[in-house]
Amino acid sequence: MARRQAAMASSLIAAVLLGACLPAPAAAGVHLSTLTKALAVTASAKSGQVLHAGVDKLTVTWSLNTSEPAGTDAAYKNVKVNLCYAPASQKDRGWRKSNDDLSKDKACQFKLTQQAYAASGGSFEYTVARDIPTGSYYVRAYALDASGTQVGYGQTGADVAFDVAGITGIHTSIKVAAGVFSAFSVAALAFFFVVESRKKNK
Amino acid sequence: MAEEGELKKPAAMEVEGAEAASKPRFRMPVDSDNKATEFWLFSFARPHMSAFHLSWFSFFCCFLSTFAAPPLLPLIRDTLGLTATDIGNAGIASVSGAVFARVAMGTACDLVGPRLASASIILLTTPAVYCSSIITSASSYLLVRFFTGFSLASFVSTQFWMSSMFSPPKVGLANGVAGGWGNLGGGAVQLLMPLVYDAILKIGSTPFTAWRVAFFIPGVLQTCSAIAVLALGQDMPGGNYRKLHKSGDMHRDSFLNVLRHAVTNYRGWILALTYGYCFGVELAVDNIIAQYFYDRFGVKLRTAGFIAASFGMANIVSRPGGGLLSDWLSSRFGMRGRLWGLWVVQTIGGVLCVTLGVVDYSFGASVGVMILFSFFVQAACGLTFGIVPFVSRRSLGLISGMTGGGGNVGAVLTQLIFFHGSKYTTETGIKYMGLMILACTLPITLIYFPQWGGMFVGPRPGATAEEYYNGEWTEEERAKGYNAAVVRFAENSVREGGRSSGSQSKHTVPVEV
């Protein structure tokens, strides 16, 4: 009894010390609200169009906004394009929440491409990956500086979100296996009941 | 008569009867009821220890299946497009089916025996596990979790079977180990499923297929364990129910009588409530903890699974520890010790639960507190079933079923109030759950056995265990000898009167604490 109590007390102390020693949370990331929305981004999918995962393609084009003053893109070295969940797909799903702090943001999880920045703009043809879940999406492009930190961005409007139909992952073999195993279980039970009644009647 | 000396080990507690000639021989020491007086964990001696291993393992497999989905939720929720509300509803569904299934199982055990009752429910729920691999929507997800959850009713048959095979001084330990090692499944699966998933991915599957295939592992284990129970198990030391009913050794009771004596015993209801706040809490945590660590602290899926697993894995020692503690307290303080032990341990569990909800700012502290919390809350489950076998003899199965069902009601209520939709953050929900544990543990103070006392009141002078248990039968039934087992049980429960009660079962002596 005493040994168990001592073990518990020491593990509590260890846990608290461990907690106290944990490194301070990582420095906060860049905030989206501080970035210049300098890029104009368009996606080839129309609002409400359904793209099938693994099959359909999406072309993303970006360029510097013509209304931006000259020299805005002096620091831009690379462009990173992400696929983001539209608000309809974020509702009641806390694990997809947007956050102004980009290091905590969970809405733009799928990276489509990262390319060198060109003043004339760029584009990328993306085949929707097989692990993109069913939902509504829009596209966001970040402009990165030499150190890889976001310094500007642009996105297609969330009101023109397109849909992706994800794969179900079900193969015929799984369906057959499920049926066979289920039938076997019930049959095994029936078998034993029959054997029992035979023994009882003997 | 000389045969008797060879049949039993000298260390056995015995009251010799004239039935020596028809007494079966056992490899373990047994009491007058043929129940084992020792517990040999690493033995498979038939029928006592083999019953133990069959029952805990089949129950373990049911836990594996019921909680196979939570560790894979980050994948399932994307495949099916689930919302937080869908997930919460399915979590509630997974433990609500067993509420009535457990009560029904208690009755089934009383009437047809634990072997057939448990194997039936286990085999009939395996199709739900296999079909979890082919679901495509939130509603089908809810349905498979609901039907799979019915298998948790096999808990009742586990406890009933152990109470039939093991003598009162060892019943707390036997119940605790069987229940604890079964509950272990809820923890082991949090580790197992991500590993199985990773292995299937490596073989070359896509994520959305791999989690589906993973469900076949718990399914197959469940099927095999139930077949083993049917092929190798035995209801009571003397044989199976069918045989005992036929030979007249055991009276076949009526459902209405069993029901009446269970629902009119207030102790059963109190234990059902308090069990809801140790076991029910354990189930709720099994459902939410992996997602909590994954989302709150941003750890990897496998890490979240590992942490969630350590919560359930504490069951290896914590629940048996609770049972052992109950038996030890009983040897010193009798039934009053068992009651105090339960109240203290479960209250500490509640305090730790509140702490867990409060330390969400620190990952290390959360893990540490969670582990401590798991020990106490699971030990409380073991302590509860150190008391249940004594509440009723006639309706043992149904009382076990009510208590077990109450555990699931607690799980349903807790998830419904605190972990449903987006009303509370998970850490706030955990904090309030702890407060509810503290409140719902207080009724233990109201439990009173006339022959052994309660937490604050001593036993009534002159009250005996035989009177208490015989009260469940009418005069005519007693005349026909239906209550034969009661006399033996009362004699074997002498120790519940406390240290100073001596070996006389006819008298009770005020317990000195």
pLDDT number for residue B14: 43
In a domain, B502, yes or no: no
User: Strand A135-144 vs strand A162-165: parallel, antiparallel, or unpaired?
Assistant: antiparallel
The residues that bridge with A85 in the sheet, in sequence order, are A137
Phi, psi of A113 (to 5 degrees): -165, 160
> CA-CA distances (angstroms) from residue B317 to A113, B43, B283, B304, B320?
51, 18, 18, 22, 5
Whether A134 has its CB under 8 Å from any CB of chain B: the answer is yes
DSSP single-letter state for residue B265: -
The per-residue pLDDT of chain B, averaged, comes to 85
For residue A50, give the 3-state DSSP assignment.
Answer: strand
Q: What percent of chain B has pLDDT over 70?
A: 90
In a domain, A173, yes or no: no
Instruction: Measure the N-to-C terminal CA separation of chain B; round to a whole number of Å.
Output: 42
> CA-CA distances (angstroms) from residue B344 to B162, B261, B339, B368, B445?
25, 29, 9, 21, 11
Strand order in the sheet with A57-64: A39-43, A57-64, A122-127
pLDDT beyond 80 at A9: no
- Identify whether the C-beta of residue B207 lies closer than 8 Å to the C-beta of residue B213: no
Instruction: List CB contacts of B442: < 8 A, sequence separation 6 or more.
Output: none
Identify the band that residue A21 occupies on the pLDDT scale cut at 50, 70 and 90.
Answer: very low
In a domain, B170, yes or no: yes
For residue A144, give the 3-state DSSP assignment.
Answer: strand
If you average pLDDT over residues B136-163, what whole number do you get?
92
- Identify whether the C-beta of residue B308 lies closer than 8 Å to the C-beta of residue B290: yes
Both B227 and B306 in one domain: the answer is no
Number of domains in chain B: 2
Query: Residue A167 and residue B369: Cβ atoms within 8 Å?
Result: no
Both B283 and B162 in one domain: the answer is no
For residue B135, give the 3-state DSSP assignment.
Answer: coil
pLDDT number for residue B129: 96
Query: Which CATH number characterizes residue A159's domain?
Result: 2.60.40.10
- Identify whether the C-beta of residue A29 lies closer than 8 Å to the C-beta of residue A143: no
In a domain, B103, yes or no: yes
pLDDT number for residue B384: 92
User: Strand A110-116 vs strand A78-85: parallel, antiparallel, or unpaired?
Assistant: antiparallel
Most A CBs within 10 Å, among B134, B211, B232, B245, to test the A interface: B134
Both B336 and B411 in one domain: the answer is yes
- Identify whether the C-beta of residue B455 lies closer than 8 Å to the C-beta of residue B447: yes
In a domain, A25, yes or no: no
In a domain, A87, yes or no: yes
pLDDT number for residue B346: 96
User: Strand A135-144 vs strand B448-449: parallel, antiparallel, or unpaired?
Assistant: unpaired
Most B CBs within 10 Å, among A93, A164, A185, to test the B interface: A185
Whether A9 has its CB under 8 Å from any CB of chain B: the answer is no
pLDDT in tens, B290-302: 888 888 888 888 7
pLDDT beyond 70 at B3: no
Q: Find chain A residues with C-beta within 8 A of B133's C-beta.
A: 170, 174, 177-178
Check residues A164 and A120 and name the one with the higher pLDDT: A164
In a domain, B506, yes or no: no
Interatomic CA distance for residues B282 and A105, integer angstroms: 32
Query: Which CATH number characterizes residue B61's domain?
Result: 1.20.1250.20
pLDDT number for residue A175: 94
- Identify whether the C-beta of residue B382 lies closer than 8 Å to the C-beta of residue B407: no
* ipTM score over 0.90, yes or no: no
pLDDT number for residue B500: 58
- Identify whether the C-beta of residue B293 lies closer than 8 Å to the C-beta of residue B306: no
pLDDT number for residue B509: 42
Q: Which domain holds residue A48?
A: 32-165
Q: Which domain holds residue B429?
A: 261-496
Amino acid found at B465: A
Number of domains in chain A: 1
pLDDT beyond 60 at A22: no
Q: What would the two tokens of residue B284 be? A: 């709720």
Whether A121 has its CB under 8 Å from any CB of chain B: the answer is no
Identify the sign of the CA torsion A89, A93, A98, A104: negative
pLDDT beyond 60 at B177: yes
Residues for chain B: how many in total?
Answer: 513
In a domain, A194, yes or no: no
pLDDT number for residue B55: 94
If you average pLDDT over residues B416-443, what whole number do you get?
89
Both B265 and B215 in one domain: the answer is no
Nearest by CB to B208, from A168, A186, A192: name it: A168
Nearest Cα residue to B402 out of B102, B135, B160:
B102
Angle, alpha carbons B42-B278-B181 (nearest 5°):
15
pLDDT number for residue B184: 87
Both B247 and B270 in one domain: the answer is no
Interatomic CA distance for residues A194 and B422, integer angstroms: 50
Neighbours of A67 (CB within 10 A): 7
pLDDT beyond 90 at B345: yes
Both B283 and B393 in one domain: the answer is yes
Closest A-chain CA to B124: A186
- Identify whether the C-beta of residue B402 lies closer than 8 Å to the C-beta of residue B106: yes
In a domain, A91, yes or no: yes
pLDDT beyond 60 at B6: no
In a domain, A136, yes or no: yes
Most A CBs within 10 Å, among B140, B206, B293, B361, to test the A interface: B206
In a domain, A26, yes or no: no
Whether B423 has its CB under 8 Å from any CB of chain A: the answer is no
Both B352 and B453 in one domain: the answer is yes
User: Strand A162-165 vs strand A50-52: parallel, antiparallel, or unpaired?
Assistant: parallel
pLDDT beyond 50 at B281: yes
pLDDT number for residue B223: 95
Phi, psi of B236 (to 5 degrees): -135, 165
Instruction: List CB contacts of A24: < 8 A, sequence separation 6 or more.
Output: none
Q: pTM value?
A: 0.80
Interatomic CA distance for residues A21 and A17, integer angstroms: 6
Neighbours of B166 (CB within 10 A): 29
Both B403 and B476 in one domain: the answer is yes
Query: Residue B79 and residue A168: Cβ atoms within 8 Å?
Result: yes
Identify the band that residue B1 occupies on the pLDDT scale cut at 50, 70 and 90.
Answer: very low
Phi, psi of B392 (to 5 degrees): -150, 145
> CA-CA distances (angstroms) from residue B459 to B61, B465, B486, B505?
42, 11, 20, 14
In a domain, B238, yes or no: no
Q: How many CA atoms lie within 13 A of A104 on its CB side?
A: 13
pLDDT in tens, A147-160: 888 888 888 987 78
Identify the band that residue A139 occupies on the pLDDT scale cut at 50, 70 and 90.
Answer: very high
Q: What would the two tokens of residue B335 be? A: 């039934």
Identify the band that residue B487 occupies on the pLDDT scale cut at 50, 70 and 90.
Answer: confident
Q: Find chain B residues with C-beta within 8 A of A6's C-beta.
A: none
Query: Residue A16 and residue B368: Cβ atoms within 8 Å?
Result: yes
Neighbours of B398 (CB within 10 A): 32
Both B428 and B294 in one domain: the answer is yes
pLDDT beyond 60 at B507: no
Lowest mean pLDDT among A41-55, B15-29, B457-471: B15-29
Identify the band that residue B151 occupies on the pLDDT scale cut at 50, 70 and 90.
Answer: very high
pLDDT beyond 70 at B409: yes
Q: What would the two tokens of residue A177 be? A: 């296996």
Both B313 and B183 in one domain: the answer is no
Displacement of CA B165 from its chain's centroid (Å): 16
- Identify whether the C-beta of residue B192 lies closer than 8 Å to the C-beta of residue B263: no
In a domain, A154, yes or no: yes
Identify the band that residue B247 occupies on the pLDDT scale cut at 50, 70 and 90.
Answer: low
Both B169 and B304 in one domain: the answer is no
Identify the band that residue B7 occupies on the pLDDT scale cut at 50, 70 and 90.
Answer: very low
Whether B443 has its CB under 8 Å from any CB of chain A: the answer is no
Nearest Cα residue to A53 out of B79, B213, B77:
B79
DSSP single-letter state for residue B27: S
Q: Find chain B residues with C-beta within 8 A of A177's C-beta.
A: 130, 133, 216
Both B342 and B201 in one domain: the answer is no
Q: Find chain A residues with C-beta within 8 A of B359's C-beta.
A: 19
pLDDT number for residue B135: 94
Q: What percent of chain B has pLDDT over 90?
A: 38
Query: Residue B212 and residue A169: Cβ atoms within 8 Å?
Result: yes
- Identify whether the C-beta of residue B185 lies closer than 8 Å to the C-beta of residue B63: yes
- Identify whether the C-beta of residue B331 lies closer than 8 Å to the C-beta of residue B168: no
Most A CBs within 10 Å, among B79, B82, B288, B307, to test the A interface: B79
* Residue appearing with tokens 């956050």: A99
Interatomic CA distance for residues B179 and B159, integer angstroms: 7
